[in-house]
Structure formats: structure tokens, C-alpha cells
Structure 1
């Protein structure tokens, strides 16, 4: 019985360490959890949080307006561009 408890405790500690590690990586991205909603469904899933580790943010000028562009770190290709709503085309 003691081995089972120790094994479960070790698994729990490992799970907590993994969660803390992922949370730290996501926190260091420099943008909010709501900005990590890559598919724009209104909710940020765990998969989207994980993907945020490989995503950067930079300023980009679009039609004379400065916007925030989110891009893949591996190739620099844009994922999404967020511009101020007052400049959105109607």
C-alpha cells in the first residue's frame, strides 16, 4: 500500500511541476490569455495555451495604422493581426 501512495504522490508532484512550467512559459509570452484564442471562438483552450509558447507578437503597419501581429516563431509567418476597432473596415 505504501508503494502505491508514493507512486501517486510522485505523479501528482510531476503533474503540478508540468503545469507550473507551462504556465511560466505562457506567462513569458507577454500577452494575455484572451489574446491566445487563435481560432477566435471566444475561449482559450489548453491546446491554444500550449501553442502560445511558439508564437511571438510584433507591431505591424496596415493601411497606415499600427496593429499587433501574432506570428510563428519558427518561420515568421503571421497567424493573426489585431488592429484597433476604430480602424476596422466596415
Structure 2
């Protein structure tokens, strides 16, 4: 019985770690405060679950482009723009 218990403990521990990771990523994405429409990072017209998870790695800053006040979304890892939204 002890061997079977050990064999089942490893997958259970891995499952718990996976669930904990997902909870942390969901929390980090939700705490960014982006609307569902803002999270359409590729500007396809729809927001996917992958876009939602990516939100935890994306920041938001005000920029000026062509004399307009715009919002630029950028990757935390390198500061490069992901997308820029300007008023029409």
C-alpha cells in the first residue's frame, strides 16, 4: 500500500502546483484592471483566454503620437510596445 500511495502523491502534488500557478496568473491578469476589449493585444476584434493570461505581462503608459494623446501597451520584459490606441 505504501508504494501505491507514493506513486499517487507525485501526480497529485504536480496537479496542485499547476492549479496554484493558474490561480496566480489569473489573479495577476485580473489585477491589471484592463477591460476585456483592451486585452485584444493583436487587435483581431476578439479577446481570447491567452490574451487574458498575457495581460499580467503587459503595462500601460500614456504617449503622444502625431500630436495626439494615445495609450501604449508595452511588454514588461523589454519595454517594447505591444499595441498603441489613439483617439479617432
TM-score range, shorter chain: 0.5 to 0.7
Mapped to 1, the partners of 2:78 and 2:61 lie a distance apart of 14
Taking structure 1 as the reference length, the TM-score comes to 0.66
Query: Which residue does the alignment assign to 2:8?
Result: none
Please give the TM-score of this superposition, normalised by the length of structure 2.
0.67
CA contact (8 A) 2:59 2:74 kept: yes
Name the count of aligned residue pairs: 84
- Counterpart for residue 33 of structure 2: 30
CA deviations over 1:21-40 (Å, ceiling 9, x no partner)? 22210122131122111122
Higher relative contact order (CA 8 A, sep 6+): 2
Q: 1:68 aligns with which of 68, 71, 84?
A: 71
* RMSD between aligned residues: 2.5
In structure 2, how many angstroms separate the alpha carbons of the residues matched to 1:58 and 1:45?
23
